[in-house]
Each structure stands twice: as C-alpha cells, then as structure tokens.
Structure 1
Amino acid sequence: MTHPGHDTRVTYPDGALEADGLVLHTASAGDGLVAVITDTTSFHPVDAAWPDQPADSGSLFVGGTEYPIVDAVVAASDGSALHLGADVPVRKGTEGWAFLVAHLVRDGAGIAEGDPVTVRADAAARRALSIGHTACHAASLALNRALAGDWSKPARQDALGAPDFDGIAITSSRILPNASVDVYRLNKSLRRAGFDTAAVAAERLDELAASVTATIAEWAAAEAEVRIDRDGDGLTDRRYWVAELPGGTARIPCGGTHAGSLGELGSVRVEFEAGEDAGTPVLTMRTHATPPR
C-alpha cells in the first residue's frame, strides 16, 4: 500500500459519533472481510496492545450504500504492507510507521481508494461503553484509596497520591456496557513490594466492596466533571482521562471514550471475587453502573 504519511485522525475522544473523510486504502482482512482505512474516523477501535474497550458499533456510508462495521482494530503500515490488530509488529509511535484505524466490513468490493466516506458510530452503544470505562477508572481510584493503609513500603502513587495497587497488580481489564471487569494478580512480587495481601482475603471482600462503592457514590453525587485532554488529533497522540474529583484532580493516560461526569454513572455497585490463575491468587473487581434514564 502507499504509505498514508500520518496516523488516522480520530474525533471520538471529543465525543464525536460521525466523521466525513476519504478512503485511503482497502485490503482483505480474511474471512470475507475488507479492511477500510480512512483519513479521519469517529470510530473507536480495539487496540491489541491493551484490548480493554471493544470497538464501537456502527456503519460506513460510501456512495449512498451503508456498510455495517463488523469490527474496528488498530492497524499499522510502513508503506509495504498493512498489518491488522495483533499482527502489528511494532509498538505504537515507532518511527517510519503510520498507525491507522481499520474498519472491517463485509461485501466491501464497491469501496475504492479516494471515495468520500461517512463514518457513523451508534450513540447508545458508545454511551454504554463510555459509562463502563469511566466507572472503571473511578473504581480503580476508589480501590487504591481503600487499600492505602495496607502497604508497608513506599509504592508508586496513583493520580490522587495513593499507592497504586490497581496499576501495580492489574493483569487484565475489560470494559463492558455500563460495567467493567478488572483482574489483579496477588503474586510474590506484589508482597515483596510491601502490599499485605491479607487486606484482600475472601472474608474481607464485602467490607472492601462497601468502601469502594461508597467512595464512588460520593464522587457521583458531586457530579465530578470528566474530560479528555490530548496532545493532538492523531490515533497515537497521548490522551488523558481527567476528573475533577472532590479530593483533587485525577489525570490518567487513556485512549478510550468516557462520560462527561461521574454524575452520569448513576448508581454504581462494586463486587469482588477471590480466585486463582495457574496457582497464583487473583482478585477480580466487577463494577456495575446503572445510569439514570
């Protein structure tokens, strides 16, 4: 493919659902799918490096025809080939590479390079994932606060100055509609870092859930404002989730989509579950939001 020269311009961080642009390239994505690269998109893709938030739902509109988008993934090209999703061979931001949003559609033979295109994301699906992602960040900060007294050594701090249990112990995060699931490994390195894993013993999890839930409720009642700050409009430009919480401003690197305030989360409930992964204890945090209608 011809080197696109720059990363895809993305408008979804500002909340945009629709974007007009041009088709830069199309390529087979296997299984009967066609990858459509546009110069601009409002469509949030899955990032294989940290696939926490699913892709938006929606369609491409080209020449009066609607093409439902089956999936959207981060892709990359050095001008010689297009690499999709998990097949991208380099880290984002690698010099000489352009990082792109690939919209995967069926029956895309009628789409050609240079065609004007409109990208449209579904508003309800976007909102549900945005609520889930914002609730996930709030829960992580509230969890760190609840566990702040359970460290015997200085630890890396989170955006509010508490020891960053979430950032240190997390092994996976998944954003769901109005919900999230985060898994933490309670391994030897975490204990050596000074964390007392007895704080997350099974018999203490109900108490921990009540504490985390109460903190989020406080922030939601204050209708803490949320915004996305970003260094530029390219796909790989750094973006930050910023929340004006009652206890201070939290600023967290994040490439996802979000609600405009914690008040939009409505009622939030956090649950914990103890388990094991290949013999290593793990803690699972499930966050559920019930936004007001």
Structure 2
Amino acid sequence: MTLPTTDTIVSYSDGDLSNTATVLHSEQTSDGRWAIILDETSCHPVDIGWPDQAADRAALRRANGDVVEVSDAILSATDGSALFIGSDIPQRPGTDGWAFVVVHLTDTAIPDGESVTVEVDGELRRALSTGHTACHLASLALNRAMADRWSKEVREDGLGQPDFDAAAIERSTIREDGSTDVFRLNKSLRRKGFSTDGLADDLPAIVDAIEATLAGWLATAAPVHVDRDGPGLTDRRYWVCELPEASVRIACGGTHVTSLAELGTLDVSLDLSDDAGTPTLTMTTDAR
C-alpha cells in the first residue's frame, strides 16, 4: 500500500488500551527495525518536538496469534512520497499536504493490509497518566504561589493567575507517578516583570503554599477528562479539570487519570541552581 494521506486516528486520549487496526504501510528503517503505520491506534507516541511524555509500552497481536513487541512509538509524518520519523520531520504538525502518523517500531515485519490488535501496557499507562495530571495540577499551584512576584501584566492561566509555567518552562519530563519541570529565570522573564529577589530564601514557604493548594484540590476528588477537536493525531486536545475555582483547560496531547482522587497525595520540591549564569528552578512532583 502507499503511504497514508490522512492523520492516524488515535484513541489513547479517551483512555483506550486496545483497538483493532489495519496496517497501512510498513518499511524498514536504517537501523533494521520496521516502521509500521496503522489506520488507528490506542498507543500514545512520543513527540520529539516536545518529548514530555514517553511512548506507551505496547504490542501488536496478529491474526495468527503471534505477538510483535513495539520497541517505540513516535510521532512521524509523510508528504505521500517519503516517511519522516521523529526529529526528521521537516514540517510542523498540521501542515497542509502532510499526514501526521504514529510509527510503531518493531523488529518484525507485518504485511500491509493485515489486521492487528494493539495492546497497551495498562500499568505503565496508569503511572504516566498519574504523572501527567500531577504535572498540570502542580503547575497551576506554582503559578498561584508565584503570583505576587509579577510587577507587570502577563498571560494568565485558566484560573486567572499570571502563568509563570508558560512563561518560564524550559522542559518537562513526565515520570511514572510524577514529573520534573525545569524553568529558566532569565533576563527575558525578568523584563516581563518577574522578580527573583529573595527567591532562594522563599522556596520553603513557596513549597508549603503549593502543597496546601494541592491538598485542597485533591480533597475535592475533582473529575478530569480530555476534550478533543477531532480523532486525528494532530487535532487539538485539552486537559480539563473541574477545580472549585473554575473548569480549567490546558492544551495537552498526553494521557491522564479521570479523577484527582486517583493521585493520592502530591509532594513537591523546588531547587534553585545556576546554568551558565542563568538561575534555573526545578520543580519535582510525586504522587504518593
């Protein structure tokens, strides 16, 4: 079969752990593995452009009963003439004339046109979903704790607070049952009105404020769901949490729990360091 001309249909944002699918295209990669594209998948891929959440652990079960392990799942793209995997993609997701697809990398070839069943490891999915929801919740609590450090108006988050997270984030890593977020407190951020004066001394009080906010939210067992503009891989998706103050929406392509009750308690730590003269703040969040 030829390369697909439309985005992969994805269902991991709905919490799906399995689906039946048809192999649309397979080709061997330079490292000897096979890149397999399905018409639809419940396997969450890593997005090399913003690799905060790792790929699901998954397998493809063939009609004859054979199980083919997926060594990685990567957001990729094709213009109809060639397949570009991960960091080789030359266009932004959603570019007209391009199909954005999930490539399932395997050590075994599966013929085009064959029907398979995608099977995702539920335990790892649960742990990563916990970590991703905890990450969003902690970012909102951090924004609130940092609100009095702004002297100028800046973009607000879903609760009407200055969005420190969006303004300063350098990278985010979703871990099993937690996350690590790194923020750069550079000159650009300070020109926007953020003050770092006395920040090191204030970190214990900021942590206390964050954890108090989180404890209050967790006690509500607020529901969480993912809204989406459509079923395609590049259709916009949003994390939605019904917090007491407001229903909060954050653009997000990851997976999540369905209730804050699933998080237990959240512990947060903050560490201030120096990166070649630029202050860097690291927030570690863990669900217990």
SS at match of 1:198: coil
Q: Distance in 2 between matches of 1:56 and 1:180?
A: 16
**Counterpart of 2:202 in 1: which secondary structure?**
helix
Are 1:121 and 2:114 counterparts?
no
What's the CA shift for 1:181?
A: 0.4
2:96 maps to 95
Aligned-pair CA distance for 1:277: 2.0
Aligned residues: 287
Matches of 1:205 and 1:31, distance apart in 2: 47
Query: Residue 98 of structure 1 aligns to which amino acid in structure 2?
Result: A
In the alignment, the residues of structure 1 paired with residue 285 and residue 112 of structure 2 have an alpha-carbon distance, to the nearest angstrom, of 43
Residue 189 of structure 1 corresponds to 188
Aligned-residue RMSD, C-alpha: 1.0
Shift of 1:30: 3.1
Q: Is the 8 A contact 2:229 2:235 kept in 1?
A: yes
Match of 1:210 among 205, 208, 211: 208
In structure 1, the residue corresponding to 2:16 is in which secondary structure?
Answer: coil
Does the aligned pair in 1 maintain the 2:3–2:25 contact within 8 Å?
A: no
* Amino acid paired to 1:39: D
State the partner residue of 1:154: 153
Q: Secondary structure at the match of 2:73?
A: strand
* Separation of aligned partners in 1, 2:231 and 2:27: 24
Q: Please report how far the alpha carbon of residue 263 of structure 1 lies from its aligned counterpart in structure 2 after TM superposition.
A: 1.3
1:122-151 Cα distance to aligned partner (Å, 9 max, x none)? 000000000000000000000001111111
- The answer for unaligned runs of 5 or more in structure 1 is none
SS state at 1:27 partner: strand
Bigger mean CA offset, 220-229 vs 275-284? 275-284
Letter in 2 for 1:218: G
Equivalent residue number for residue 76 of structure 1: 77
Deviation at 1:29, TM superposition (A): 2.6
Could you tell me how far 1:17 is from its partner in structure 2?
0.2
Q: 2:276 aligns to what? A: 278
Query: Which amino acid counterpart does residue 71 of structure 1 have in structure 2?
Result: D
Letter in 2 for 1:85: G
Match of 1:176 in 2: 175
Corresponding residue for residue 67 of structure 1: 68
Structure 2 runs not aligned, ≥5 long: none
3-state SS of paired residue (1:83): strand
Q: Deviations over 1:54-93 (max 9, x none)?
A: 0001211123210111110001001111000111110000
Which runs of structure 2 are paired with 1:229-244 in the superposition (5 Å)?
A: 229-244=227-242
Name the CA distance, whole Å, in 2 between partners of 1:76 and 1:259.
Answer: 28
Aligned 1:256-275 pairs, distance under 5 A? 256-275=254-273
Letter in 2 for 1:73: I
Q: Distance in 2 between matches of 1:165 and 1:42?
A: 33
Q: TM-score, normalised by structure 1?
A: 0.96
TM-score (norm 2): 0.97
Residue 197 of structure 1: how far off its partner (Å): 1.2
- Name the CA distance, whole Å, in 2 between partners of 1:12 and 1:67: 19
C-alpha separation between the residues in 1 aligned to 2:100 and 2:159?
32
CA offsets, 1:103-129, max 9 Å, x none?
A: 1111x13x1100001111100000000
The equivalent residue for 1:112 is 111
Bigger drift between 54-63 and 231-240 goes to 54-63
